[in-house]
Chains A and B, each alone.
Chain A
Amino acid sequence: MKKHAFIASTLASATCTLLGASNVLAAMNSDSLWEFDSAFLIYSEPDRVSALEPTVSAKRETTNGGSLFFKGVIDSLTGTSANGAVPTDRAKAFTRPSGDGNYTINTGGTPLDDTYHDTRLAISSDWETPLSQTMRLALGGNISNEFDYMSASASARLLKDFNQKNTTLSVGLAHAEDTIEPEGGIPEALGLVSEAEFDNRANDDDNSVTDLLFGVTQIIDQNSFFQVNYGLTDSNGYHTDPYKLVSLVDGNGRPFGDNSDIPSVIYENRPEDRARHSLFGRYKRKLDSGDMLDLSYRYSTDDWEIDTHTVDIKYRFDLTGNRYIQPHFRFYTQSEAEFYRPFLLQGEGLPEFASADYRLADMDTFTIGAEYGWGNKNNPWRVSLEYYLQEPTEPGNKFGELENQELLPSVDAILLRVNKRF
């Protein structure tokens, strides 16, 4: 649904066209044609991963009624992350992903991989242009790069307005090509982790993703609208996380092989194909009090048998003096991937696919926080503080020593974000 969110800015460029000698006006007013926005997110899991994410965008309305948009994000990650192996009552050593050296996990702790620093840079752009009074085309591109992962994607979307612009239908297609070049090369799928094995690896592998998105945005009345999107995603290629492991446990529930202090772990392996459907609905309403409600629900399902539900609620309290406070609550639940295995048994044949990554397990997550906005002209300043709790469901098939361990502890994080428009 096209909004002349600021009639003033499209009016400004129309006036420039009218008055002709635009170099005089443009010299004075060029900064009023570009809108800049910036945000800085600090994500912190105590004792685990932390991320700093500054991002900047620039947007300009073009004289034909379209727009041009550029964005850059830097994602700087440090800390440690669960590698999928099971905790146990004996200290154990793991090999670093690059093969250079070992690190030791003390008893009982969730095995974490400590070579987790990564900086990602992503640049994207989007160009929207009207094709007729009621139809628009948007084309976008994105390049993302970190030391072990490169992604390039392009998208096209067609939007058409009906019913005096009360209804907008959209259809979009996107395609991405990713290349993953992990530290130490591509590990052998479900292969035993051992130092010797590092010499025979492929350097990289790739993955391609195609997305199809259908959307309807509909105005209900003067104060509200709803939106429904249906999406299909087909992803082919390397989905495995080359840094994640699966433990092979013995009859006592310990991940050690015979006569060995070195844990028996193998690299995980995920299927090469993943097809997903998602249905998203959103309702936004401005109330008589001036407050605003933003409610959304998303359902998704795929052929890895991961079913998810997400509910997101934001309620904005309108305060005097151009300020607001907006509490936010989000609930998410997912069912485990069909090949999710918190551990495998030694001596049994290996399945074709297995992953112990807790992010594919049966899990509920909760986010609660609030955002505070202030300043004239659409609250250029915003600050948000949120608490995010991930609660994976502890596997029910534990035995032996595993019963004394927590395989999937809760993970919590604090998110602090500051936004400034200028």
Chain B
Amino acid sequence: MKRLIFICLLLMLNACSQLGVKPWDRDTLAEPAMAVSEQPLTDALEDHTYFSKEAASGGRGFGGGGCGCN
């Protein structure tokens, strides 16, 4: 399973070099709503809620700190 994931990632990285936009076409992507992390507070609150109610956590990025609730 791990090897499969690794190979997928390598293939993706290769495919990645064909994708993309020229620097002057970044209008839409530069809009605040299209940011990768547009609502950090909401994301953190959500992550924390699900962390304390479910067995898995994270995935999106690094959260901050533990709380002993899982």
- Residues of A bordering B, CB below 8 Å: 1, 3-7, 37-39, 41, 43, 53, 55, 57, 71, 73, 75, 120, 122, 124, 140, 142-144, 146, 148-149, 151-153, 155, 157, 162-167, 172, 174, 176, 178, 180, 207, 209, 211, 213, 215-223, 225, 227-231, 233, 276-280, 282, 284, 286, 292, 298, 300, 304, 306, 308, 310, 316, 332, 334, 337, 359-360, 363, 365, 378-379, 382, 384, 388, 390, 415, 417, 419
Contact = CB atoms under 8 A, between A and B. Distances in A.
B38 to A, nearest CB: 8
Nearest to B41: A39
Size category, B interface:
35 or more
A222 B27 contact: yes
B64 to A, nearest CB: 4
Contact of A292 (B16, B17, B33, B62): B33
Interface of B: 2, 5, 9, 12-13, 16-17, 19-23, 25-36, 39-42, 44-45, 48-50, 53-56, 58-62, 64-68, 70
Q: Which of B5, B33, B61, B62 has the most CB of A within 10 A?
A: B62
Across the A-B interface, give the 6 residue pairs with the lowest CB-CB distance, nearest first.
A166-B20, A149-B68, A142-B64, A280-B59, A144-B65, A142-B65
A198 to B, nearest CB: 20
A122 B64 contact: yes
Given A39-B45, A146-B68, A153-B65, A378 B33 contact: yes
B50 to A, nearest CB: 7
A164 B65 contact: no
Given A172-B61, A178-B68, 12 more contacts: A41-B45, A146-B67, A155-B62, A166-B19, A219-B20, A221-B21, A278-B56, A292-B33, A298-B56, A308-B54, A332-B56, A419-B41
21 contacts: A5-B31, A39-B45, A71-B41, A71-B44, A142-B64, A144-B64, A151-B65, A157-B62, A164-B20, A167-B13, A216-B12, A225-B36, A230-B9, A231-B58, A233-B58, A280-B60, A284-B36, A286-B28, A306-B56, A310-B59, A334-B56
A48 to B, nearest CB: 11
A262 B1 CA distance: 48
B35 to A, nearest CB: 5
A228 B61 contact: no
A365 B49 contact: no
A378 B34 CA distance: 11
B55 A73 contact: no
B41 A57 contact: yes
A215 B11 CA distance: 15
A271 to B, nearest CB: 13
A223 B65 contact: no
A225 B25 CA distance: 13
B45 A55 contact: yes
A219 B19 CA distance: 7
Contacts of B61: 172, 213, 215, 229
Contacts of A419: 39, 41-42
Nearest to A59: B40
A284 B29 CA distance: 10
B5 A230 contact: yes
Contacts of A43: 49
A284 B34 contact: yes
Given A219-B29, A222-B21, A148 B68 contact: yes
A178 B21 CA distance: 44
B62 to A, nearest CB: 5
A233 B67 CA distance: 16
Contacts of B39: 382, 419
A7 B30 contact: yes
A232 B66 CA distance: 16
B28 A223 contact: yes
A213 B62 contact: yes
Nearest to A167: B16
Contacts of A143: 65
A389 to B, nearest CB: 11
A6 B16 CA distance: 26
A172 B62 contact: yes
Contacts of B70: 359
